[in-house]
Amino acid sequence: MVGKARVGRKIKFRWGTPAEEIPGVREKGVACAGEAINVTADDSGGWRELLEDAAENQVEITLSGVTKSHRLEDDFFAGNRTKYTEVEYENGRKISGTFFLASHNTTGVYNDAVTFEATLQSTGVVTVTPGI
């Protein structure tokens, strides 16, 4: 598609305080999960019963791309692995909170750029700000 930007390129990933955009991120994923509380008892008639509220909520962000920035890798090795994080969509919708850099992988170097993948896990409350 010549002349049309792909939607994925308009999603921004920011890391740290102040929140700085990490360049070269091509693919981003956000997975949300909540651990159910099983309250099944003898009088449940053989059916599982779960409480409405989750015992634990979590958000995981996965990233991959090609970049000359080594900020995530540097923070991983320096032990600076828990930071404020934002994922902002093109309509202004934003997912933000404190995230732990659980993994970081780099492969290949070409013209000082590396291919990378990273996984971040939420720690604490994650906020979702609606877009327009």
73, 81 in Cβ contact below 8 A?
Answer: no
pLDDT, tens digit, for every residue of 110-119?
788 889 999 9
**The predicted structure's pLDDT at residue 49:** 95
Six-digit token string for 96: 């933000």
Hey, what's the torsion of the CAs at 38, 43, 46, 47, to 10 degrees?
-40
| CA distances to 10, 46, 56, 71, 130 from 21, in Å | 12, 51, 29, 10, 20
What's the CATH fold of domain 7-129?
Factor Xa Inhibitor (4.10.410)
pLDDT, tens digit, for every residue of 81-94?
999 999 998 899 99
pLDDT per residue as tens, the chain (132 positions):
444 444 445 788 999 998 889 888 888 889 999 999 999 999 999 999 999 988 999 999 999 989 888 889 999 999 999 999 999 988 999 999 999 999 999 988 778 888 999 999 999 999 999 998
| CA distances to 37, 73, 78, 112 from 57, in Å | 12, 27, 28, 39
Q: Which residues pair with 31 in a beta bridge?
A: 60
